[in-house]
């Protein structure tokens, strides 16, 4: 009979991670296990070269592989592995697709009220003010007294909402620094200002101290202009003296005689050549045989 502990086989020696260095070796050495998990998730053809491993904390690491997916150039597969002290292998926690340093990403999302820009509003569009818009404050509500309500309407209070002092200041700053402000190219090109122009229609209220509306159809017609804005269509612009160009004398083409150019004469037609008479053929003289003398009787 054996006593306690006698006859028991000694436990087999196994490689375990007891120290932090050994645990890190288990985590970083799980690249093959991580690749197998990614291939099981996405398919072997979607997994590319091994890119490396990084420790997330003492018990977790992330193995990265290049992703071969249409439309995901520069993206990477990330397989997170974990192990506890004393473990001889790591387990898979998750597999995700993450952008790499050269990945093409969509721009950062911006709320719609921050994306809208001047000029975006088209016919039929609805653009409500945001909640608690600082540009608006509650207006005057009807009191039932006709005289009071009429006075309120005259000064612009007969509406549900009116522009706040902050909203008016923001609009004034925008107009003053815009295309019809004193620092614009058009305003700097002339010495005359809108405040002295007959086409200038001042605004009512507090904004009338700085702004008005242009009534010249040849200039900024119907638009808000700063009093210090100016253009070449000012009502005090003098008419140019004299006629013609100041650099050249006027040219009157009415004093010239205009005649049509005669058409050039047609070239004479070449005369027909007379046919040449054939040269007479040379006639060779016929040979005459000499007569033989007759014999005398």
pLDDT tens sequence across 37-62: 999 999 999 999 999 999 999 999 99
In the 8-state DSSP scheme, what is residue 153?
A: H
Cα of 121 vs its chain's centroid, Å: 18
Report the pLDDT value the prediction gives residue 9, as an integer from 0 to 100: 39
What is the rounded CA–CA span in Å between residue 237 and residue 233? 7
CA pair distance 297, 294, nearest whole angstrom? 9
Q: Is the distance from CB of 132 to CB of 114 less than 8 angstroms?
A: no
What does DSSP assign to residue 221? B
pLDDT (0 to 100) of residue 16: 42
* Residue pLDDT, tens place only, 168-227: 999 999 999 999 999 999 999 999 999 999 999 999 888 999 999 999 999 999 999 999
Distance CA 169, CA 163 (A): 10
295/297 Cα distance (integer angstroms)? 6
Which residue would you say has higher pLDDT here, 152 or 280?
152
What the chain holds in terms of domains, given with CATH numbers, is 20-99 (3.10.450), 133-162 (no CATH), 165-226 (no CATH)
Place of tokens 């009338």: 208
pLDDT, mean over the chain = 82
């Amino acid at each position: 009979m054996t006593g306690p502990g006698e006859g028991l086989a000694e436990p087999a020696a196994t490689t375990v991670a007891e120290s932090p260095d050994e645990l890190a070796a288990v985590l970083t050495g799980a690249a093959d296990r991580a690749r197998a998990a990614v291939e099981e998730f996405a398919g072997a053809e979607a997994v590319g070269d091994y890119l490396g491993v990084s420790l997330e904390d003492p018990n977790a690491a992330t193995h990265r592989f290049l992703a071969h997916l249409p439309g995901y150039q520069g993206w990477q597969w990330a397989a997170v592995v974990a192990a506890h002290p004393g473990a001889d292998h790591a387990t898979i926690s998750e597999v995700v697709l993450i952008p790499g340093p050269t990945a093409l990403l969509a721009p950062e999302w911006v709320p719609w009220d921050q994306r809208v820009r001047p000029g975006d509003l088209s016919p039929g569009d609805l653009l409500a003010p945001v909640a608690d818009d600082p540009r608006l404050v509650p207006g005057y509500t009807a009191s039932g007294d006709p005289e009071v309500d009429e006075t309120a309407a005259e000064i612009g209070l007969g509406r549900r909402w009116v522009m706040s002092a902050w909203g008016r200041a923001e609009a004034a700053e925008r107009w003053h620094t815009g295309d019809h402000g004193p620092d614009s190219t058009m305003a700097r090109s002339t010495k005359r200002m809108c405040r002295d122009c007959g086409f200038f229609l001042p605004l009512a209220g507090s904004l009338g101290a700085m702004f008005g509306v242009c009534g010249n159809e040849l200039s900024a017609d119907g638009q808000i202009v700063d009093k210090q804005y100016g253009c070449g269509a000012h009502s005090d612009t003098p008419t140019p003296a004299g006629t013609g160009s100041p650099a050249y004398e006027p040219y009157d083409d009415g004093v010239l005689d205009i005649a049509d150019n005669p058409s050039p004469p047609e070239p004479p037609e070449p005369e027909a050549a007379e046919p040449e008479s054939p040269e007479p053929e040379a006639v060779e003289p016929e040979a005459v045989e000499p007569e033989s003398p007759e014999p005398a009787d």
